Amino acid sequence: MGTSASSKGPGSGPDIPIVPPWVDDPPKPVPQQTPPNVQPNPQSPRGGPGAPTRPGKLKPPQIQQQQPPLQEPSPPGRWRGTRTSLGKFAGGGSDRERHLKRALGNYSRSGMGGSQNAARRLSGSSRVASSLHYALTSLSSGAPLPQDLGVDAQTLAGLPPDQVVDALVDAIRPIDGTQDAEVTRDSAARALSEILAQNPDLTSLTPEQIDHVTASLLGHDVAHRIELDVGKAVIDKAPTKGEGLERLQEMKDYVREVVAAEYATERAKAGAVGRATIERISNNAIQQTFEVFEDEADL
């Protein structure tokens, strides 16, 4: 995918939500069903709870429609403080670490509307991370891969490592033409490629290696998101383009370190994990990362 620093980032204003509407995808309502083999209560009064319903008088199940959450409009100048601090960070000097932390704190508070909104904005990353974790865990244990991924272990067996990476990336995050998909696919490919240096067989990773891949995917995705939104400020304000790229990489490395630390903290709280648990851990790690950014900006 290459660097995305040339992106101007999202705008601001009442017509541009902080969290785009396509990010929140509420589950479809499921009709309530009566458990099988449940007999009506013979002591219930006629017409009361538990009373049998006459044939032909069955009432359709009540379905509670779930409304998507309201989209919070982005305030004018939401990136101003972030870009100002990133410009000072890009210029170098002994205070550049402080300027970077202040920039990331402003990014979370003003740009994203707080850590909770930031986690919502990156909820797709959590879902993909959990799918990859589950797939790698299944491969390492010899269990069948989830059917929804559309790929099986036999298909992956015997493929060169780079083709295994491509197949897994296509399975967990298919191409859909969106920037989010492109970014997360790139993050997954980077995370998988990194672990290949330690273990060339992706079907035999240890639990620790699988967690490393998951945290790495999240770290790359958070760093990519920040780069797309405000990375251009680093390039524009650096003395040279080369120094700008170095500063940009420094920022992304720091973000990934924080994400990895927060993922490790959240992961240590859980025992046996499944797909839903990893998604929750990943979401918590992202939110905690942005809370760290906000806390460190005040130091």
Examine the pLDDT at 24 and tell me if it is beyond 90. no
pLDDT grade for 299, boundaries at 50, 70 and 90: confident
Examine the pLDDT at 177 and tell me if it is beyond 90. yes
Q: Is the pTM of this model over 0.85?
A: no
What's the confidence (pLDDT) of residue 188?
Answer: 98
What's the confidence (pLDDT) of residue 28?
Answer: 37
Residue-wise pLDDT for 247-267, tens only, equals 999 999 999 999 999 999 999
- The helix (run of H) or strand (run of E) holding residue 170 is helix 161-172
What's the confidence (pLDDT) of residue 273?
Answer: 87
Closest CA to 226 of 122, 136, 134: 122
Residue-wise pLDDT for 27-44, tens only, equals 333 333 333 333 333 333
Kindly give, in sequence order, each residue whose CB lies less than 8 Å from that of residue 2, ignoring residues fewer than 6 positions away. none
Please state the three-class secondary structure of 252-284 as a single string: HHHHHHHHHHHHHHHHHCCCCCCHHHHHHHHHH
Distance, CA of 123 to CA of 226 (rounded, Å): 15
Residue-wise pLDDT for 44-95, tens only, equals 333 444 444 434 444 444 444 444 445 556 566 899 999 999 999 999 888 9
pLDDT grade for 11, boundaries at 50, 70 and 90: low
Overall average pLDDT of the 262-283 stretch: 94
Distance, CA of 183 to CA of 17 (rounded, Å): 20
CA distances from 73 to 20, 61, 76, 147 (A): 10, 36, 9, 38
Closest CA to 261 of 221, 225, 211: 211
Q: Give domain limits for the chain.
A: 72-297
Residue-wise pLDDT for 107-151, tens only, equals 999 999 999 999 999 999 999 999 999 999 999 999 999 999 999
Residue-wise pLDDT for 182-216, tens only, equals 999 999 999 999 999 999 999 899 999 999 999 99
Mean pLDDT of the chain: 83
Distance, CA of 299 to CA of 48 (rounded, Å): 63
What's the confidence (pLDDT) of residue 8?
Answer: 60
What's the confidence (pLDDT) of residue 110?
Answer: 94
pLDDT grade for 271, boundaries at 50, 70 and 90: confident
- Residues in the chain, total: 299
Residue 14 phi/psi, 5° resolution?
-65, -20
